[in-house]
Structure 1
Amino acid sequence: MSLDVMPISTYCQTTGESVDAINKRIQRKIWQEGVHVLKVDGVRERWIDLEEINRWARQSKDPLYRAE
C-alpha cells in the first residue's frame, strides 16, 4: 500500500521529526501550507503531502550530496 498523504502525527512518528521542526520550516517558507502541509476540511490535524516532501528533498542544494 502506498500513501500520498498522512497525518502529521504519523509522519513525525515514522520519520522521527518533530512538529516543531515542521512548523519552523513553514515559518521560514521552506515548506508551504497547501503544498507540503495540508489542512483537510473537518479534520483538526494537518496532513503531510509525501510526494511534495520527496520532491523538496530531492532538490538538495548541497553540491557534495549530488553524485555525478
Structure 2
Amino acid sequence: MLNLDCVPISTYCKETGETPDAITKRVQRGVWREGVQVLKVEGVKERWIDLNEVAKWARQSCQSSRAA
C-alpha cells in the first residue's frame, strides 16, 4: 500500500465515492480552498487532493460539530 500525501482527484473520488462535482461545489462554497485541500499542479490537467489537509479539515469539522 502506498502512503501518499496528494492524489489526483480521480483517485480520490474512486477511493472515497465522492464525485468531482461535489468537490468543485465544496470549493465554490468555500468549504475547501484551492491551494489547500485542492491543488492545481502546473503542467497537469487534473487537480490533486491534499490528503493531509482533507484530514485536518475533517477533524476540525468533527470537533466543531461536537462543540455545538
TM-score, normalised via structure 1 length: 0.89
Match of 1:3 in 2: 4
Question: Which amino acid is the alignment partner of residue 52 of structure 1?
Answer: E
Matched residues in 2 for 1:40 and 1:6: separation? 11
For normalisation by structure 2, the TM-score amounts to: 0.89
Distance 1:32 1:62 in 2: 20
- Report which stretch shifted further, 55-64 or 13-22: 55-64
Q: Does 1:15 align with 2:16?
A: yes
Letter in structure 1 aligned against 2:21:
D
**Equivalent residue, structure 1, for 2:65:** 62
Identity %: 62
Q: 5+ residue gaps in structure 2? A: none
CA distance, structure 1, for counterparts of residue 53 and residue 66 of structure 2: 21
Q: Quote how far apart the aligned CAs of 1:62 are.
A: 1.2
Q: What letter corresponds to residue 25 of structure 2 in structure 1?
A: K
Structure 1 residue runs without a partner (length 5+) = none
Query: In structure 2, how many angstroms separate the alpha carbons of the residues matched to 1:6 and 1:51?
Result: 11
Displacement of 1:6 in angstroms is: 0.1
Q: Which runs of 4+ in 1 moved over 2 A?
A: none
- Which residue does 1:53 correspond to in 2? 54
Q: Secondary structure at the match of 2:49?
A: strand
Cross-structure match for 2:40: 39
